[in-house]
């Protein structure tokens, strides 16, 4: 006990634990070379890093001790890309784990970390994670699945998980763009119905993205007005258009001025349903999502993050 009668993070040999769930093949695989540095930084603060190597789809083993002994833990860290963060958030929400979540952006694309302003430099990142700043952020829910950054369906949706991991390791986010270009000859309209509080949209679409942050696919101007804790999604739906119309629109997208394009539907909402004809691929934070129709809602201020 300290003078105030509260147990500190380090008393004698007692150390609060920090669950580090890392993806060894994320990004350029460089996170494997940074584990010792992370342990050292936390150890100096009287905190014990408990590393869990994420294997395949499973992170359940990492949460067994965390769930059974939450009082022993100071926080959880997800080290990897958006898919890694997604799986950790899914487990935290499923198991109602209320610990703060830290993110080390080590993936090919780190949209949510970028939206939160988390630096990629490991020294600066540890400075942030060992600091006192905390924020409550919204989480999206689709049935019994959760997402922290993006739910999407339509064309381009399956690019993240169809891109070979070796290409991602070598080329980085350029591997996604090249895969997207490869898919261009398969362009086709998808009939979608989007129902939300403001009405119903029925049209031939290419793509719909439901965003919790301003960043998707490495583009941090996807939804310029998005805020991660405002209790609302920013929804962007791209109408079907020919290639001559699509390319100028993509340039506007890069510049962050696409919202006013006539081929774009844009609105904010707390809840929506998206149905489509002949559309099976959906995506949650870069991972394969459930089959449509999708009933999507905000869970406001559901997660505490260190950022």
In whole angstroms, give the CA distance from residue 210 to residue 280: 17
In whole angstroms, give the CA distance from residue 282 to residue 217: 15
**pLDDT at site 194:** 97
Q: Which of 40, 57, 277, 287 is catalytic?
A: 287
In whole angstroms, give the CA distance from residue 148 to residue 285: 7
pLDDT in tens, the chain (307 residues): 444 444 444 444 568 999 999 999 887 889 999 999 999 999 999 999 999 998 755 567 778 888 888 899 999 999 999 999 999 999 999 999 999 999 999 988 899 999 999 999 999 999 999 999 999 999 999 999 999 999 999 876 655 555 556 545 544 454 455 445 556 556 678 899 999 998 999 999 988 999 999 988 777 788 888 999 999 999 999 898 877 777 777 777 766 778 888 889 999 999 999 999 877 789 999 888 999 999 999 999 999 999 9
Tokens of 63: 């949460």
**pLDDT at site 58:** 54
Assign 3-state DSSP to the chain and report helix, strand, coil percentages, each to 5.
Answer: 30, 35, 35
The pTM of the full predicted model, rounded to 2 decimals, is 0.84
Q: Is 125 exposed, middle or buried (0-12, 13-18, 19+ CB in 10 A)?
A: buried
Q: What would the DSSP string read from start to end of 118-131?
A: --SSHHHHHHHHTS
**pLDDT at site 63:** 85
In whole angstroms, give the CA distance from residue 218 to residue 197: 29
In whole angstroms, give the CA distance from residue 237 to residue 252: 15
CB 109 within 8 A of CB 82: yes
**pLDDT at site 242:** 76
Q: Is 1 exposed, middle or buried (0-12, 13-18, 19+ CB in 10 A)?
A: exposed
In whole angstroms, give the CA distance from residue 249 to residue 260: 10
Taking CA 158 as the corner, what is the angle to CA 169 and CA 200, rounded to the nearest 5 degrees?
140
CATH number of the domain at 145-301, out of 2.40.110.10, 2.60.120.260, 1.10.260.40, 2.60.200.40? Answer: 2.60.200.40
Tokens of 22: 């890392």
CB 156 within 8 A of CB 292: no
Q: Is 102 exposed, middle or buried (0-12, 13-18, 19+ CB in 10 A)?
A: buried
3-state DSSP call for residue 141?
strand
Q: Which of the 8 DSSP states describes residue 291?
A: P
Q: Does domain 10-133 have CATH number 3.40.50.10330?
A: yes
The residues spanned by each domain of the chain are 10-133, 145-301
For residue 218, how far is the Cα from the chain centroid?
Answer: 11
User: What is the per-residue pLDDT across 112-131, written as a single tens digit (0 to 9) for each?
Assistant: 999 999 999 999 999 999 99
3-state DSSP call for residue 192?
strand
In whole angstroms, give the CA distance from residue 223 to residue 141: 19
Q: Is 287 a catalytic residue?
A: yes
Q: Which among 237, 173, 176 is positioned nearest to 203, based on CA atoms?
A: 237
């Amino acid at each position: 006990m300290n003078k105030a009668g509260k147990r500190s993070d380090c008393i004698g040999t007692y150390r609060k634990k920090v669950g580090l769930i890392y993806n060894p093949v994320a990004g350029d695989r460089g996170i494997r070379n940074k584990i010792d540095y992370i342990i050292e930084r936390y150890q100096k603060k009287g905190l014990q890093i408990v590393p869990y190597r994420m294997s395949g789809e499973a992170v359940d083993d990492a949460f067994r001790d965390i769930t059974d002994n939450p009082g022993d833990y100071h926080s959880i860290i997800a080290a990897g890309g958006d898919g890694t963060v997604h799986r950790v958030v899914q487990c935290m929400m499923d198991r109602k784990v209320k610990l703060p979540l830290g993110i080390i952006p080590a993936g090919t694309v780190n949209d949510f970390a970028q939206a939160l302003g988390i630096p990629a430099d490991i020294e600066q990142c540890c400075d942030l994670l060992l600091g006192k700043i905390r924020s409550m952020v919204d989480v999206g829910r689709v049935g019994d699945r959760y997402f922290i950054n993006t739910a999407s369906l339509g064309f381009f949706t399956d690019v993240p998980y169809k891109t070979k991991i070796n290409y991602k390791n070598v080329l980085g986010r350029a591997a996604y763009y090249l895969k997207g270009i490869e898919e261009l000859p398969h362009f086709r309209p998808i009939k979608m119905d989007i129902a939300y509080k403001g009405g119903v949209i029925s049209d031939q679409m290419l793509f719909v993205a439901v965003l919790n942050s301003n960043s998707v696919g490495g583009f941090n101007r996807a939804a310029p007005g998005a805020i991660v804790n405002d209790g609302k999604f920013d929804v962007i739906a791209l109408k079907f258009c020919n290639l001559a119309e699509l390319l100028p629109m993509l340039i506007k997208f890069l510049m962050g001025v696409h919202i006013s394009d006539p081929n774009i539907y844009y609105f904010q909402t707390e809840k929506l349903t998206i149905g489509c004809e002949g559309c099976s691929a959906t995506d949650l934070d870069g991972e394969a999502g459930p089959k449509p129709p999708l009933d999507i809602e905000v869970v406001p201020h559901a997660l505490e993050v260190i950022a």
